Structure 1
Amino acid sequence: MSDDPTQVREFFGARAARWDSRFPDDGPAYAAAVKELGLRPGDAVLDAGCGTGRALPPLREAVGRTGTVIGADLTPEMLAEAARAGRDAAGTLLLTDVARLPLRDGCLEAVFGAGLVSHLADPERDLRELARVVRPGGRLALFHPIGRAALAARHGRRITPDDLRAEPRLRPLLARSGWDLVAYTDEDDRYLALAVRRTG
């Protein structure tokens, strides 16, 4: 699929109403990935490309009532499904492109991004924008409920060396964008890359 924002919006917009029913068992995987972010009560966190908001409830649970949870997505239909599912109670839904966030520098402790990297129009620029809104030492989780090989097989493809989510490609991409990759898991039942916002 294209990483052009208009085509991404059209792709997900056409699938929004059926999205959660296609992947009904992903909740525990989202909750486990959120725990890896090490959030504390009162923290501010962004779910970048939040879709139907499946990460919002565990993010809210992690930061508590005093924390801030923002779910940003460029597809109105996905945000509508998040609201229909009641997940807007867990966080503020924001219709925006994560490449141009209406947030001030360093205002967040963390960013969670499920299935995000492969849909970024300009991955280096867009990951730099996520770094801009995270305080130095803050964290980024790039997540998918299944690993690269399992996802490729689901779509009748094989993984290729040019996949941005592969560790040899992702590590330097993150480094150029202001992040240090600190943990990387790519197994059949989980993909999770954790990075820390550089202080310099």
Structure 2
Amino acid sequence: MPQDRAAVRAFFAERAAGWDAKFAADPPRYAAAIARLGPLDGAFALDIGCGTGRALPLLRAAVGPGGTVLGMDLTPEMVALAATRPGALVTVADCTRLPLPEATADLLLAAGLLGHLPEPATALREFARVTRPGGRLALYLPLSRTALAARHGRDPATDPQAEPVLRPLLAATGWRPVSHHDTDDHYLAVAERT
């Protein structure tokens, strides 16, 4: 899996058109993960690395009419597809330089993002910068983290989302780990902004 920005953008650009069809079984998994995040009514939620926007309608429903959802992705082709979702608010952005002021977001969802980053700590620091104290970060995968790491040639034990690696990484970048679910069919780690 590519990790530099240009390679990541090119990788996802050529796959954007078929992305939703390839992962058609994912929406119920996303819905279950978002439900596990607890009440989000009125929240300002960010979907960082939103891809084609599969989670945007689910987040929109979770935050209700008083909330706001903003999707961001590095790949313009993905953002163009995400923009077709009803009520979608999306922009092209680099997750290490988010176009937001400090302490504005209540929730950041990053699904399948951390494994694409050469320096996850840089992104986690930036996520912390734009999140209000007490706000939450949800790192999510709709499949096994271990299987995904192995598929991409990474050692599952040293993968940035492996709990022994992630806990100190979160602590060093402004987050307090809250929960960590790493199962054979999904991955969800939640942290709170300190």
User: So what's the TM-score if we normalise by structure 1?
Assistant: 0.91
> Hey, what's the Cα distance between the residues in 2 that align with 1:96 and 1:73?
5
Q: Structure 2 unaligned segments of length 5 or more: list them.
A: none
> Hey, what's the Cα distance between the residues in 1 that align with 2:118 and 2:39?
28
Give structure 1 regions of 4+ aligned residues with deviation exceeding 4 angstroms.
Answer: 156-159
Cα drift, residue 169 of structure 1: 0.3
In the other structure, the counterpart of 1:108 is 105
SS of 1:192's partner is strand
Does structure 1 retain, via aligned residues, the 8 Å contact 2:72–2:91?
yes
Does structure 2 retain, via aligned residues, the 8 Å contact 1:26–1:145?
yes
In the other structure, the counterpart of 1:95 is 92
Verify: 1:78 aligned to 2:74, yes or no: no
Cα drift, residue 179 of structure 1: 0.6
Q: Residue by residue, what CA displacement relative to the aligned partner does 1:131-185 show, whole Å, maximum 9, x if unpaired?
A: 11111011000000011233246x3857432211110001111111101111111
User: Percent identity, aligned pairs only?
Assistant: 54
Does structure 2 retain, via aligned residues, the 8 Å contact 1:48–1:98?
yes
> Hey, what's the Cα distance between the residues in 2 that align with 1:178 and 1:152?
25
Closer/same/farther in 2, CA of residues 82 and 156 from structure 1, 3 Å limit:
closer
Closer/same/farther in 2, CA of residues 152 and 120 from structure 1, 3 Å limit:
closer
Q: Residue by residue, what CA displacement relative to the aligned partner does 1:6-60 show, whole Å, maximum 9, x if unpaired?
A: 1110111111111111111000110111122224321101000000111101100
Does structure 2 retain, via aligned residues, the 8 Å contact 1:69–1:90?
no
SS of 1:139's partner is strand
- Matching residue within 118, 121, 129 for 1:121: 118
User: So what's the TM-score if we normalise by structure 2?
Assistant: 0.94
In the other structure, the counterpart of 1:194 is 190
SS of 1:65's partner is coil
SS of 1:160's partner is coil
- Letter of the aligned partner of 2:133 in structure 1? P
SS of 1:6's partner is helix
Does structure 2 retain, via aligned residues, the 8 Å contact 1:148–1:159?
no
> Hey, what's the Cα distance between the residues in 2 that align with 1:41 and 1:127?
24
SS of 1:184's partner is strand
Give the number of equivalent residue pairs.
194
- Letter of the aligned partner of 1:164 in structure 2? P
Give the aligned CA root-mean-square deviation in angstroms: 1.6
